[in-house]
Amino acid sequence: MTMKLLTVLVFLVVCFAYYGFCEKLSYSGYKIIRTYPENEEQWEAVRSWEERGVDLFSGNREYANLLVPPQLLGKLNESMIENGIRTSVEVEDVKRIIDMEKVNEDKIVEGRLEWDRYYTLADVHQFLEDQAAIHNTIASTFVVGMTYEGRNMTAIRISKSGETRPAIWIDANIHAREWITGAVCTYIIDQLLNSNETEIQSWLDDYDFYILPITNPDGYEFTHTTDRFWRKSRSHNGSPVNCMGTDLNRNFDFHWMENGGASSNPCSNTFAGTAPFSDSEAASVRDFLTSISSRLVFYLSLHSAGQYILFPTGFDATPIPQYNTYMSIGNLAAEAHGVRHGTNFTAGSVYNLMYTATGSSMDWTWSALGANLTLTYELRDKGEFGHLLPPDQIYPSATEFMDGLKVIIAELSNGIPDVDP
C-alpha cells in the first residue's frame, strides 16, 4: 500500500517537474479572459499575472487575453476590479474548443495536404520531402539546424537559378502553439510549386525561396502530445523549479533583455534565454540567414494572432528610416488581405501596435543583416479563438494571405529604399 502511494507520489513529482511524461493537459475549467488596460499602470497590473501562472495569451497594450486556470479565476477577477480594469469573457470553455480542433490522422500521399485540418510535425516534414521529390529540378529540402531535443529543423529551398538570385526567407511556428502559421506556410509552399497562376510562378524567375514551416519543432511536437498552449523551445535553462524553454522570439541579439521587452524568469513565456542565441534553434536560424545575407531581400516571419502586419522595431517608439515606406506597403497589403472575406489587418511597428518586445528574429535580421524588407505577421484572429483557430478558417486564412503577399512582392520588386524618400 505504502509502496503504491510512493509510486504515485514519485510519478506526480516527476510529472510536475517534467510534464512531458504526463498525459495531455485537458484545460478543463480554463477560460480566456480579455482585459482592457487603459494606461501603463493597468497594463503592468495585467502583465504581473504572468508571474503568477497566468498566460498572457495574445493581444497588445489595449487588450490582453489571459488564459486563466479555474483556481485563479476568482482572484484575478477581484484584482481587475480593484485596479479598475474592464474585463470580458472571451472563451467560456477552453477545453471544448481544443476538442474541436482537427489534427490529420491520414497518411500523407504524394505531398498532398488539405487546408482543412492541422498536421503533426512528421506530416509537415513528409510534405516537404514529397514536394521536393516531385519538383526535384527546382526544390530540395535542407536542415537549418538541430533542436535541443535532436529534431531536424527541415526547410525547403525553391530556386531556379542555382541559388544566385535575391533571396526570400519565410518562417513560421517560432511559437509552437501558433498552429495557423505553419499551416499557412505550407500553403505558400504549395502555391509556389503547384499553382498555375502566372503571377505566383513569375516570382520563381526573380527570387530564390527558403521556407521553414516549423521553426520550433520540439515545441510544436509538445503542443500535439502534451500541452496545446506551449509557446517556447523545450530547452532546460537552469531553472531551479524545472521550468523549461526559451521564447525563441526573444533570444536573438537585438537589444536583448533591454527595456522590459523580455523576461529573465525561466518560468515566463517571454523568457529571453540565458544569453543571446543561447538556444540552438535561434542560433541555427541566425547562421543560415547570415549565410544568405548578401542575397536576402525579404524576411517574413509568421505568428498569430491579432491580424497585424508588423515591422521593426519592438524596442522603442523611434521610427525606423523606412517607416513611411513600410507603412504604405503594409496598408496596401492590408487592403488586399481584406478583399476576400473582409478580414481586417492593421499595419504598424511592433512597439506601436503591440508592446515592447526585444530580441525578436525580425528585428535582428533587420538590424544585423540589413535585409531590404522585414515583416512579422500576426495572422487570424483578433481573439475570438486565438491560438485555437478552427480548422475551417485555415483555407480562408491562407488564401487571403496570398492576396496580400502578391502586393508585397510587387512592392519589393519595385525596390525598397534604405531611407524614406
Active-site residue list? 378
Sign of CA dihedral 61, 65, 71, 75: positive
Which residue's beta carbon is nearest to the bound ligand 0X9? 314
- CA gap 55, 59 in Å, rounded: 12
Nearer residue to Zn ion within complex by CB, 175 or 250: 175
Cis? peptide before 208, omega within 30° of 0: no
Q: Tell me whether residue 167 or residue 350 sits nearer to ligand 0X9 (CB atom).
A: 350
> In whole angstroms, what is the distance from residue 198 CA to residue 267 CA?
48
| Per CB under 6 A, 362 contacts ligand 0X9 | yes
Does position 151 interact with Zn ion (CB under 5 A)? The reply is: no
> Which residue in the set 175, 232, 337, 382 belongs to the binding site for ligand 0X9 (CB under 6 A)?
175
Q: The cell 514529397 sits on which residue?
A: 130
Residue 276 within binding range of ligand 0X9, rule CB under 6 A:
no
Whose Cβ is closer to ligand 0X9: residue 213's or residue 312's? 312
Cβ–Cβ < 8 Å for 301, 313: no
Q: Which stretch binds ligand 0X9 (CB under 6 A): 13-21, 108-116, 214-222, 308-316?
A: 308-316
Q: Grid coordinates standing for 373?
A: 524588407
Separation of alpha carbons 148 and 259, rounded Å:
28
CA atoms within 13 A on the CB side of 152: 13
Residue 373 binds ligand 0X9, judged by CB under 6 A: no
Q: Which stretch binds Zn ion (CB under 5 A): 10-18, 109-117, 235-243, 300-308?
A: 300-308
Cis peptide bond N-terminal to 305, omega within 30: yes
Pinpoint the alpha helices (H) of 276-393.
Answer: 280-291, 323-337, 350-353, 361-364
360 is a contact residue toward ligand 0X9 (CB under 6 A): yes
Dihedral sign, Cα of residue 148, residue 149, residue 152, residue 154: negative
Q: How far is the CB of 357 from ligand 0X9 (least distance, A)?
A: 3
Site size toward ligand 0X9 (CB under 6 A) is 16
Contact call for residue 255 and ligand 0X9 (CB under 6 A): no
- Residues near ligand 0X9 (CB under 6 A) are 58, 175, 178, 249, 303, 310, 312, 314, 350, 354, 357, 360, 362-363, 376, 378
- Residues near Zn ion (CB under 5 A) are 175, 303
